[in-house]
Amino acid sequence: MTVTVKLDAALEEQLRQRAARTGRSASELIRAALQTYLNQPDDGAHARSAFALGQDLFGRHHGAPSLAQERKRALAEVASARHARRGA
């Protein structure tokens, strides 16, 4: 089957550059990209929540556990330090 796809100039240029760099035709790249897209589960992934999208990242980073509770004090300290530097 033959399909016509309209691309904006920037996307067309990216496609041409990738084709030239990889030695593959634009049609090959489009077929591969479409196949990759169609192989993804059709579970509404585009509509997933922010939590679902970042779930694998949560708990991987560490910091002071009281940071949220002490934010006002921490900001006041930063402001005081800046004020002290300006006055010096």
- 20-39: string of b/e by CB count within 10 Å (b at 16+)? eeeeeeeeebeeeeeeeeee
pLDDT at 35 over 90: yes
Is the whole model's pTM more than 0.95, yes or no? Answer: no
Mean pLDDT of 66-80: 82
pLDDT at 15 over 90: yes
Token pair listed for 60: 């991987």
CATH placement of domain 1-40: 1.10.1220
Q: Give the orientation angle of helix 9-22 with respect to helix 26-39, to 10 degrees.
A: 100
Distance CA 51, CA 58 (A): 9
- The residue with tokens 């084709």 is 19
pLDDT band at 42 (very low <50, low <70, confident <90, very high): confident
pLDDT at 61 over 70: no
Domain layout of the chain by residue ranges = 1-40
pLDDT of residue 47: 64
Long-range contacts (CB closer than 8 Å, 24 or more residues apart) made by 4-9: 5/30
